[in-house]
A = this chain, B = another copy of it.
Amino acid sequence: MSAETTAFTFPAAGKGAALEEDTILSPRFDANGLVTCVAVDAGTGEVLMLAHMNAEALALTMETGEAHYFSRSRGKLWKKGETSGHTQKVREMLIDCDQDAVVIKVEMGGTGAACHTGRRSCFYRSVPLGAAPSAATRLAFTGDTPRFDPAAVYGKGHDGHDH
């Protein structure tokens, strides 16, 4: 963890108009205490990655303007880029109608790769449309090629996820 934790407790989530039409931030955390976060490139709007925030990660992101997430696989808070240098400076944060998801518009640090595979975006494969899925269905790579070697950054044997 790279910043002081924030003791503030968000208001309990409202319902209906109180949730959707008011200016009170009352996140609807799920059963695991998380909201979903979509990180998009502040310049191009490209979707870079999807991750989760608990109350602490949300508060730290608001306070510091640097993206913090909660790793479901590791069960802990992490500051994006703390291992890899691929930080995310948050230029804008939006919250959705029922306050269980946020969008952050970010400027990437390091090589600009948001994905732990070394690619700019985690969404580097397309799914074919126009036919029902079958055993013949194949994904296609978009051309977003790795910008760094994950094994060199995270170490071999580490899955690199959530960093």
Interfacial chain B residues near A142, Cβ < 8 Å: 94
Query: What mask results when residues 126 to 163 of chain A are scored 1 for a CB within 8 Å of chain B, else 0?
Result: 11111111100111111000000000000000010100
Q: How many copies does the complex hold?
A: 2
The answer on a CB contact under 8 Å between A117 and B36 is: no
Known: A38-B38, A38-B47, A50-B36. A133 touches B25 (CB 8 A): yes
- Answer whether residue A20 sits at the interface, using C-beta atoms and an 8 A cutoff: yes
Size of the A side of the interface (Cβ < 8 Å), in residues, is: 61
The answer on a CB contact under 8 Å between A62 and B127 is: yes
The answer on a CB contact under 8 Å between A23 and B139 is: yes
Question: Nearest Cβ distance between residue A104 and chain B, in whole angstroms?
Answer: 9
Which residues from chain A sit less than 8 Å from chain B, CB to CB?
6, 8, 10, 16, 20-25, 36, 38, 40, 44-47, 49-50, 58-59, 61-63, 65, 90, 92-98, 101-103, 115-117, 119, 122-134, 137-142, 159, 161
Sampled A-B contacts (10; CB under 8 Å): A6-B132, A23-B125, A23-B141, A25-B137, A45-B46, A49-B96, A50-B101, A58-B133, A65-B130, A97-B119
